[in-house]
């Protein structure tokens, strides 16, 4: 018997309608997951503005309701869904760099239907089981927030293994994730400066232990000097803005690393001044390896109240259009939508 579900349809220009879609059956090596929650992301902006026939949503959690042939995950297992359906066999996957898979099969929510639908079919290899005691709203933090944020810090440590100060450019959800993971991985006594121009997000950054800098009212260099830290060891740009990356390079110590997480604009380098004489490095940081989820799950279980502060709004999926309006308005941290699911 054909089964149907309701799913949002991103029509473009910020318009979201609803369509009936067939619930897919899991094939060999696949799981059918009943989605519980999905977090909004700035990467959804293109789909929100320009439309898509794919059901978006790439920060999904849920519960296994059917398992295809050749799988071992029990029905009823809760978990989080990794964005990238990596092959597991290529050179990069064998090195553990599953975020850089050379034969990637899907990007969930972009090339294949994602977590705003009531159900998702996913490869078992990208389903990460979580404890039944972990809220599936909280479990969304394991993805873009903790995963991407923690990987950026790991990348920075390749350049400077003795990090004693950090600058984060941009206090959106990813920037807040970098801040929280810097505090967790490097130590809560490490000063983490974070810049933005949205007071709401800067206030949230302060609650997470960051040192907020409102660039609308304060100069970056002067503020660092006021804290007796004129140069930082590493900087992480989550804004994607050229001006932010340039400013970060100008306050890096020797050696120092700028990790670029946010997509968007470019940066112009004077190789002699910016790189060679300072032994600076500019690195990219793409999502995170699947293997990182285990350690991050332990961190989330050990510090649930701390990380939970990043989620500021939880709304029903029926409120998705309003959730996007609020999220893109800037006065939020992470926004999560939840499903009240009915299978017809």
In 3D, which of 52, 61, 65 has the Cα closest to residue 23?
A: 65
**pLDDT value of position 340:** 72
Give the mean model confidence (pLDDT) for residues 203-229.
Answer: 98
> Going from the N-terminus, what domains does the chain have, and what CATH number goes with each?
4-141+311-338 (3.90.180.10), 146-284 (3.40.50.720)
pLDDT in tens, 174-205: 999 999 999 999 999 999 999 999 999 999 99
**pLDDT value of position 1:** 67
Structure tokens at 187: 């130590």
What percent of the chain stands above pLDDT 90? 97
> In a 3-state reduction of DSSP, which class is residue 312?
strand
CB 55 within 8 A of CB 114: yes
Would residue 181 be called left, alpha or beta, if left means φ above 0 and alpha means ψ between -120 and 50 degrees? alpha
Give the mean model confidence (pLDDT) for residues 136-142.
Answer: 98
In 3D, which of 95, 134, 136 has the Cα closest to residue 290?
A: 95
Structure tokens at 154: 């790991």
CB 249 within 8 A of CB 258: yes
Give the mean model confidence (pLDDT) for residues 203-217.
Answer: 98
**pLDDT value of position 2:** 80
Whether 319 has a pLDDT exceeding 60, the answer reads yes
pLDDT in tens, 245-277: 999 999 999 999 999 999 999 999 999 999 999
CB 20 within 8 A of CB 131: no
pLDDT in tens, 84-127: 999 999 999 999 999 999 999 999 999 999 999 999 999 999 99
Cα(250)–Cα(130) distance, rounded to whole angstroms? 42
Sequence-distant (6+) residues with CB within 8 A of 56 are 8, 10, 44, 47, 109, 110, 114, 116
Whether 16 has a pLDDT exceeding 90, the answer reads yes
Structure tokens at 240: 């994607």
> In the block, which residue shows the tokens 């112009």?
268
**pLDDT value of position 344:** 37
């Amino acid at each position: 018997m054909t089964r149907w579900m309701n799913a949002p349809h991103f029509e473009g220009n910020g318009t979201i309608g609803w369509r009936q879609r067939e619930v897919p059956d899991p094939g060999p090596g696949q799981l059918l997951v009943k989605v519980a929650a999905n977090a909004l992301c700035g990467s959804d902006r293109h789909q929100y503005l320009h439309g898509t026939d794919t059901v978006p949503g790439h920060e999904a959690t849920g519960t296994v309701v059917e398992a295809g042939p050749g799988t071992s995950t029990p029905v009823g297992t809760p978990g989080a869904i990794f964005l990238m359906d990596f092959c597991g066999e290529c050179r990069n996957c064998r090195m553990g760099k599953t975020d850089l898979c050379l034969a990637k099969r899907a990007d969930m929510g972009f090339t294949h239907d994602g977590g705003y639908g009531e159900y998702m079919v996913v490869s078992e290899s990208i389903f990460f089981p979580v404890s039944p005691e972990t809220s599936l709203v909280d479990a969304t933090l394991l993805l873009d927030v903790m995963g991407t944020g923690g990987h950026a810090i790991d990348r920075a440590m390749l350049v400077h293994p003795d990090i004693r100060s950090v600058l984060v450019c941009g206090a959106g959800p990813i920037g807040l994730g970098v801040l929280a993971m810097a505090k967790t991985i490097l130590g809560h006594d490490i000063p983490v400066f974070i810049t933005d121009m949205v007071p709401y997000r800067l206030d949230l950054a302060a609650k997470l232990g960051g040192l907020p800098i409102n660039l609308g009212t304060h100069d970056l260099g002067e503020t660092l000097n006021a804290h007796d830290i004129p140069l930082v060891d590493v900087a992480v740009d989550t804004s994607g803005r050229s001006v932010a990356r340039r400013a970060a390079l100008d306050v890096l110590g020797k050696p120092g690393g700028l990790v670029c997480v946010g997509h968007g604009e470019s940066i112009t380098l004077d190789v002699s001044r910016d790189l060679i004489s300072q032994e600076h490095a500019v690195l990219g940081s793409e999502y995170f390896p699947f293997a990182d989820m285990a350690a991050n799950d332990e961190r989330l279980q050990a510090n649930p109240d701390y990380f939970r502060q990043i989620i500021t709004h939880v709304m029903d999926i029926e409120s998705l259009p309003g959730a996007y309006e609020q999220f893109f308005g800037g006065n939020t941290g992470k926004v999560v939508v939840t499903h009240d699911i009915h299978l017809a």
